[in-house]
Amino acid sequence: MADDQALTEAQAYEAAFRFVVQYRERERQPGPESLDLMLTHMEPVADAARTNDPAAWTDWRECVEATLRGDPVPKFSD
């Protein structure tokens, strides 16, 4: 996937949903601390890593690729 590939608004929304779901499934920490941690990891930086946590960029790209492939959207469950 090219770094500059454009997504439609709907695709971007779906990719963001996928990203949040996969993060929640991996972390399983209830409460606002989990959201704070996710946002800290996602914060954009001006280097090759793109984020404070380079794995977050990899996770994001995987979510975008899944969206572009038309993979089934994950279901949110408690």
**Does residue 50 form part of some domain?**
yes
pTM above 0.85, yes or no: no
What is the domain range of residue 18?
10-22+31-69
Q: Enumerate residues 6+ apart whose C-beta is below 8 A from 15.
A: 7, 60, 63, 64, 66, 67
**Does residue 52 form part of some domain?**
yes
**Does residue 40 form part of some domain?**
yes
30 pLDDT higher than 80: no
**Does residue 1 form part of some domain?**
no
49 pLDDT higher than 90: no
**Does residue 45 form part of some domain?**
yes
Q: What is the pLDDT of residue 73?
A: 95
Number of domains in the chain: 1
